Amino acid sequence: GVALGAWPRVAMEAPELWVGFVGAGRMAGGLVRGLLQAGKVPASNILASAPSDKNLGAWRELGCRTTHCNLEVVHRSTLVFLATKPHILPGVLEEIRPAVGSHHIVVSLVAGVTIQTLQRLLPPWTKVLRIMPNLPCVVQAGAMVFSRGNNAGDEEATLLKSLLSSCGLCEEVPESYIDIHTGLSGSGVAYVYLFAEALAEGAVKMGMPGALASRIAAQTLLGAAKMLLETGEHPAKLRGDVCTPGGTTIYALHQLEKGALRATVMNAVEAATNRACDMAKD
């Protein structure tokens, strides 16, 4: 075991930054892979805890250290990511609370748990931030938003942003946007997968082999998104640029409009956002 207080306070800059993960599931795994691939923190500075060994093997393969003791993570880290399932979190917070100091930066990835709740369950001086990432953080093309609690200042926000920008887009937002981000981008990734599948199926129907169709569908989405991000043009303008008068694209778009695709997508974002809000209240 590790004696309380035996570990020195460490500097905030990488590579002296010691990062811990309480919970080692899919989302945590995505973030740590992004962190490692960007070379911001050496793997040996990262410690992750989980109740079973189920996920920890993958972390060790990355070069991270692992443990089954949540307290150890808190003792050995400055920056602590909370990545448990929502119903587990209150118990975990009660457990680690005694070890949390004013030098810690606690960043919660836990869906639906508000900053207010986190601050209530942690010591009053704790620097708390809440982040909502999405899955493509794994390939450094994620979209993340975060909000800060009462004691988290510009320094903490800047640190988080600089660490995680290697995983993709990372923006600070008011906490009220976090559920919207879930609906738009957290769940949004699934909408895109659905759309890609449907595109490919259309191509298969018209005679193209499935594997090729899927690769082309993915590349089409990637390319379109890249043009959006790089040109900064309004999507309606880019759409118009592709539509030759009387050509194939406008015929296809008419089909999409007939199917009220726009409204359906808006409905999806709304439904996911509302569900996130409801779940947070439970």
Partner 1 sequence: MSVGFIGAGQLAFALARGFTAAGILAAHKITASSPDTDLPTVSGLRKIGVNFTVSNKDTVKNSDVLFLAVKPPIIPFILDEVGPDIEARHIVVSCAAGVTISSIEKKLSTFCPTPKVIRCMTNTPVVVREGATVYATGTHADVEDGKLLEQLMASVGFCTEVEEDLIDAVTGLSGSGPAYAFTALDALADGGVKMGLPRRLAVRLGAQALLGAAKMLLESEQHPGQLKDNVCSPGGATIHALHFLESGGFRSLLINAVEASCIRTRELQHLADQEKISPAAIKKTLLDKVKLESPSLSVASVNKVSLFTNKSKKN
Binding window for partner 1 (CB under 8 A); candidates: 115-123, 145-153, 163-171, 233-241: 233-241
DSSP 7: S
CB atoms within 10 A of CB 218: 15
The nearest distance, CB 200 to partner 1, in angstroms, is 24
Is 134 assigned a ligand-binding role in the annotation? no
205 lies in the site for partner 1, by CB under 8 A: no
Question: Is 55 within any annotated ligand binding site?
Answer: no
The residue among 1, 87, 73 whose CA lies nearest residue 32 is 73
The site map against partner 1 for 237-276 (x = CB under 8 A) is x--x-------------x--xx-x-xx--xx---------
Distance CA 115, CA 58 (A): 30
Q: Which is nearer to partner 1, 4 or 263 (CB)?
A: 263
Q: How far is the CB of 236 from partner 1 (least distance, A)?
A: 3
* Distance (Å, whole) CA 109 – CA 83: 5
Contact characters 21-50, partner 1, x per CB under 8 A: ------------------------------
Sole binder of partner 1 in the list 209, 231, 234, 249 (CB under 8 A): 234
CA 34 to CA 243: how far, in whole Å? Answer: 37
Q: How far is the CB of 158 from partner 1 (least distance, A)?
A: 26
- What does the CA dihedral 127, 163, 89, 23 come to, rounded to 10 degrees? -140
Shortest reach from residue 177's CB to partner 1, in Å = 9
13/230 with CB nearer partner 1: 230
Determine which helix (DSSP H) or strand (DSSP E) holds 156, and give its type and residue range.
helix 154-164
224 belongs to an annotated ligand binding site: no
Q: Judged by CB under 8 A, how many residues of this single chain contact partner 1? A: 13
What is the 8-class DSSP label of residue 68? S
Tokens, residue 136 = 């493509």
Instruction: Tell me: is residue 70 an annotated ligand-binding position.
Output: yes
Find out whether 276 and 111 touch, Cβ atoms under 8 Å. Answer: yes
Nearest distance, CB of residue 132 and partner 1, angstroms: 17
- Residue 117 annotated as binding site: no
- Spell out where the chain has E strands: 19-22, 46-49, 65-67, 79-82, 105-108, 127-132, 142-148, 168-172
Give the interface with partner 1 as residue ranges (CB under 8 A). 234-237, 240, 254, 257-258, 260, 262-263, 266-267
Residue ranges of the annotated binding site for NADPH are 70
